[in-house]
Chain A
Amino acid sequence: MHKAIGLAEAVEMIPDGASLMIGGFMGVGSPHRLIGELLRQGRKDLTVIGNDAARPGVGIGRLVDAKVVKRMVASHIGTNPEIGRQMIAGETIVELCPQGTLAERIRAGGYGLGGVLTTTGIGTVVAEGKRQIEIEGKMFLLELPLTADFALIAAHRADHIGNLEYALTSRNFNPIMAMAAATVIAEAAEIVPVGVIPPDDVVTPAVLVDHLVEREKLNGR
């Protein structure tokens, strides 16, 4: 049941070339300490699945700045000109996916589903090369599940065994990513004793969290 490990130790588990789901939306709800440590340890050739490339210097944008993202699956990259430059230069491969479809593909990966059927993308470039299935007279697009080697997620509060609670819009992709990766590493703004987070408020149960990053030192303590 002991989940807590040091930040450096957590990131040492992640090899070059790993596929990572990284929570957050424009950097809100991203695991900023884990991202910083990936950079400090010089990890490279990463596949990143996340909603967006944020901005240069922010969240996933910091990995883009350092040119360590080999492939990215995202719904939006327009706020980060650097990933656009890398994509045009052929340094990075970007797969764009409608945001709701991205969420459902991750959910399908974590929920043991073979895919999702959605009307989003029918009749657009998103449908190119994908199977379309008619159900009761309506056409749906078959979108396939996503999984990853690691999910790097951020929570508002964790307890000592790794139950997670989120705050406001920082929840976003974090809970579904916690279901869809082989190894889940969580960092939390606050860590509290077991029992402090009421059962009804636990969004991600501890059993899904493999490693909980120890807190930062505050005022030397």
Chain B
Amino acid sequence: MDAKELIARRIALELKDGDLVNLGIGLPAMVTHYLPPGVDVFFQLENGLIGLAALPHPGLENYFLGDAGGALVGAVPGACAFDSAFSFGLIRGGHVDLTVLGGLEVDERGLLANWVVPGKMVPGMGGAMDLVTGCKRVIVAMIHTAKGKPKILKQCTLPLTSARRISLIVTELAVIEPTDEGLAVRELAPGVTVEQVIAATDAKLIIPSEIPEMKLAA
């Protein structure tokens, strides 16, 4: 199993039946493949839909139904469409139970930087700032390091996405929870030692005496 699949399988266990969920593009979107049986959720698109579905068949695209990346998608029965002000009312108002987003850096306080890619043109924050500030829970899905360099740092070097602390970091090495006291290691990926996690992390970690192995969705 590759690193991204492992991360997606772990995060899939965080989705609860009946949740309204917003997934970022790329790795976070992979979570849809591993929903446990009996967990029915609605996926929100910030461009104005509750009830995203995969396109059922090529050739059935509707040019009025796209995702936030501009790809044409499908919708589930019971889907609902709305304008951008309402969509961000859902997000900012705390009506979205969970958002899963990619991360470039997370710091010791649990603050996320994910909208300015170093060395590239500033793309704009899109909906990321509203999502991190407003959703009930924010999970960051990311590979633990970038080109061998830690991404979980004492302090972010990139511009922050929000001053609000995120709920959970899931990487291919560990599940880490930001708390009032700092970043606590909650689970280790199968075959990964706590020393490996510490070595790949710049921030100070809180290491409990017993750390369970990461659970994964089938």
Binding site for B on A (CB under 8 A): 25-29, 51-52, 54-55, 58, 74-79, 81, 84, 87-88, 96, 98-104, 106-107, 118-126, 156, 166-176, 203
* Given known A25-B66, A28-B66, A76-B125, contact A169–B92 (CB-CB < 8 A): no
Q: How far is the CA of A56 from the CA of B159 in the complex (A)?
A: 27
Interface centre among A25, A77, A121 (most CB of B within 10 A): A25
A171→B124 contact, CB < 8 A: no
Given contacts A99-B130, A176-B84, contact A124 B64 (CB under 8 A): no
The reply on B91 being an interface residue by CB < 8 A is yes
CB<8 Å pairs between A and B, sample of 13: A55-B70, A81-B121, A96-B124, A99-B88, A99-B125, A100-B84, A119-B164, A122-B162, A125-B159, A126-B129, A169-B48, A169-B64, A170-B63
B152 CB to closest chain A CB (Å) equals: 19
| B interface: dominant SS | loop
Asked if B127 contacts A99 (CB within 8 A), the reply is yes
Total residue contacts A-B, CB cutoff 8 A: 157
Instruction: Determine if A174 and B92 form an interchain contact, defined as CB atoms under 8 angstroms apart.
Output: no
What class of interface size applies to chain B in its complex with A? 35 or more
Q: A75-B126, A78-B121, A100-B130 are in contact. List 16 more A-B contacts (CB 8 A).
A: A51-B47, A52-B124, A58-B70, A76-B123, A77-B121, A77-B123, A96-B122, A98-B126, A98-B127, A104-B85, A120-B134, A124-B129, A167-B65, A169-B66, A171-B81, A176-B85
Q: How far is the CB of A93 from chain B (nearest CB, A)?
A: 13
- Cα distance A161–B164 when bound, in Å? 47
Say which residue of A96, A122, A156 sits within 8 Å of B163 (CB atoms): A122
User: Which residues of chain B (54-108) have a CB below 8 Å from chain A?
Assistant: 62-70, 75, 81-85, 87-88, 91-92
Is the CB–CB distance between B92 and A120 below 8 Å?
A: yes
Complex contact A124–B161 (CB within 8 A): yes
Q: Does B53 contact A (CB under 8 A)?
A: no
Q: Is the CB of A174 within 8 A of B66?
A: no
How distant is the Cα of A168 from the Cα of B47 in the complex, in angstroms? Answer: 10
**With A103-B88, A168-B62 in contact, is A176–B83 under 8 Å at CB?**
yes
